[in-house]
């Protein structure tokens, strides 16, 4: 397809597509002549991903470029490729390791991972942004006087593991490694708000069942 058709099918203006091409967010098309290039379904898929990252995820172009660099890195195994792409997304600030609540949260999260048997997750604790986010969250609860320890967190963690199984089952329906990584990134940007909304709707439903509307 030519640039005009790519624009029409994606809903992205030709000027924006040219900008993405200049910034390296979109692979160059196949040159037909000095002024014309052709694009394919891969360009359309990548364009939709870039648009979601910038418009929905509010990511700066530099971050999008970094994420896509990991997505396209054929030298990485699947786990590292997915992890590197997701870790390049914006994360919570680093926890203050001198804070007593953070130190307690580290212990609680360590006990949680041990109880769940998540040995792979435990091995990544020094580098995983998700681990740091969990520590920050648990520390915040403890600072406010709520003892959200391993025992209370474990049922939630098991539910999240079921969600992760569904996530990766869906990722594996895509043929290429790049598409799998793209789908994981898109899920992190689009699926997490959906899951958060479902959680809140479920809370509303359960509250109404238990207490009614009075």
Task: Give 43-91 pLDDT, tens digit per residue.
Answer: 988 888 898 888 877 888 988 888 888 888 878 777 777 777 777 777 7
Q: What is the pTM of this model?
A: 0.75
R_g (Cα) of the chain, nearest Å:
21
Task: Indicate if the pLDDT at residue 209 is higher than 90.
Answer: yes
In terms of domains, do 123 and 168 share one?
Answer: yes
Single residue among 22, 50, 80 that ends a domain in this structure: 80
What's the 3-state SS for the chain? Answer: CCHHHHHHHHCCCHHHHHHHHHCCCCCCCEECCCCCEECCHHHHHHHHHHHHHHHHCCCCHHHHHHHHHHHCCCCCCHHHHHHHHHHCCCCCCCCCCCCHHHHHHHHHHHHHHHHHCCHHHHHCCCCCHHHHHHHHHHHHHHHCCCCCCHHHHHHHHHHHHHHHHHHHHHHCCCCCHHHHHHHHHHHHHHHHHHHHHHHHHHHHHHHHHHHCCC
pLDDT (mean) for 34-49: 86
Question: What range defines the domain where residue 19 resides?
Answer: 3-80
Single residue among 31, 46, 80 that ends a domain in this structure: 80
In terms of domains, do 124 and 189 share one?
Answer: yes
Structural domain tally of the chain?
A: 2
pLDDT at position 160 is: 92
pLDDT at position 108 is: 92
Task: Indicate if the pLDDT at residue 189 is higher than 90.
Answer: no
Domain with 29 in it: what CATH number? 1.10.1660.10
pLDDT (mean) for 1-18: 90
Task: Give 118-170 pLDDT, tens digit per residue.
Answer: 988 777 777 788 888 899 999 999 999 988 888 999 999 999 999 989 988 99
pLDDT (mean) for 188-194: 81
Q: Is residue 88 part of a domain?
A: no
pLDDT at position 104 is: 93
Tokens describing residue 190: 């689009």
In terms of domains, do 67 and 105 share one?
Answer: no
Q: Is residue 33 part of a domain?
A: yes
pLDDT at position 16 is: 92
In terms of domains, do 34 and 114 share one?
Answer: no
């Amino acid at each position: 397809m030519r640039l005009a058709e790519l624009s029409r099918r994606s809903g992205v203006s030709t000027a924006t597509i040219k900008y993405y091409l200049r910034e390296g967010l979109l692979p160059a098309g196949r040159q037909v002549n000095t002024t014309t290039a052709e694009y394919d379904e891969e360009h359309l898929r990548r364009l939709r991903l870039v648009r979601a990252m910038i418009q929905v995820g509010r990511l700066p172009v530099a971050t999008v470029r970094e994420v896509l660099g990991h997505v396209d890195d054929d030298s990485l195994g699947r786990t590292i490729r997915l992890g590197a792409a997701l870790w390049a997304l914006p994360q919570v600030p680093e926890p203050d390791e001198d804070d007593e609540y953070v130190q307690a949260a580290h212990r609680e999260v360590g006990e949680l991972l041990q109880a769940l048997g998540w040995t792979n997750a435990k091995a990544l604790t020094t580098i995983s942004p998700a681990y740091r986010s969990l520590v920050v969250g648990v520390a915040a609860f403890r600072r406010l006087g709520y003892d959200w320890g391993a025992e209370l967190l474990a049922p939630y963690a098991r539910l999240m593991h079921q969600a992760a199984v569904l996530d990766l089952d869906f990722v594996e329906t895509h043929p290429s490694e790049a598409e799998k990584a793209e789908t994981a990134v898109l899920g992190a940007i689009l699926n997490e708000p959906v899951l958060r909304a479902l959680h809140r709707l479920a809370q509303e439903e359960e509250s109404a069942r238990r207490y009614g509307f009075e």
